[in-house]
Chain A
Amino acid sequence: QQQVKQSPQSLIVQKGGISIINCAYENTAFDYFPWYQQFPGKGPALLIAIRPDVSEKKEGRFTISFNKSAKQFSLHIMDSQPGDSATYFCAASKGSGNTGKLIFGQGTTLQVKP
């Protein structure tokens, strides 16, 4: 059972454009939703995270939009740059905030063309 579904699998965006990656979850007990960025041969790095009590969180060029009723959340990368080319994973966990184990989505490979 895939608890966190991520789309699209791959994405190509022109430099300066907006990259949008979507995730949907099933378990309403999830209460922490982070996004990770992974470069080839490296471990994932935390980009931004949100809790279900807010609908949007912005950090620099990265924004998470959260829709609790639809059980969906998305990552928006504004002014996408070639250096943003990487694999992005959404994740979710349950428990007291983010103390639980993370369940990852399938990943999205982003390519930003110069």
Chain B
Amino acid sequence: GAVVSQHPSRVICKSGTSVKIECRSLDFQATTMFWYRQFPKQSLMLMATSNEGSKATYEQGVEKDKFLINHASLTLSTLTVTSAHPEDSSFYICSARETPRGSPLHFGNGTRLTVT
């Protein structure tokens, strides 16, 4: 089946630094990828929709200058958390859909970000 790989799985960084998270579709091409954030024991909240070759679409309340998204190829999207603060500590999960319309959404295994 389709596999979405996220890297790193865990990252600890100091407040004020930036962190990049990679999301790759391993065996399929994905024109659209989605980035979610999940706080402990809570649901997944959509942050942004990443479209290959164009700007990402951010959900209301998500700071686009803080959460930089780049979708440079059909198999890779990156999320960069800039000037991270402790309140950015969360579980970030990407998802990708195969190019043909109607394909299911596959999720990566998430990245646990801890900002100290």
Contact = CB atoms under 8 A, between A and B. Distances in A.
Q: Do A and B bind each other?
A: yes
B110 A42 contact: yes
Contacts, number: 57
Contacts of A45: 107
B34 A101 contact: yes
Nearest to A2: B43
Given A89-B44, A106-B43, A46 B112 contact: no
Interface of B: 4, 6, 32, 34, 41-46, 49, 93, 95, 97, 101-110, 112
A41 B4 CA distance: 15
10 contacts: A43-B6, A43-B107, A46-B106, A98-B97, A98-B104, A99-B97, A102-B34, A103-B46, A106-B42, A109-B41
Nearest to B48: A101
Interface residues of A, number: 22
Contact of A43 (B103, B104, B109): B109
B43 A105 contact: yes
B41 to A, nearest CB: 8
A44 interface: yes
Contacts of A89: 43-44
Contacts of A105: 43
Nearest to A97: B102
Given A43-B4, A98-B97, A98-B103, 18 more contacts: A41-B110, A41-B112, A42-B109, A43-B93, A43-B107, A43-B109, A44-B44, A44-B107, A46-B104, A46-B105, A96-B102, A98-B102, A98-B105, A101-B34, A101-B49, A102-B34, A102-B46, A107-B43
Chain A contact residues: helix, strand, loop or mixed: loop
Contacts of B106: 46
A46 B4 CA distance: 13
A44 B102 contact: no
Contacts of B108: 43
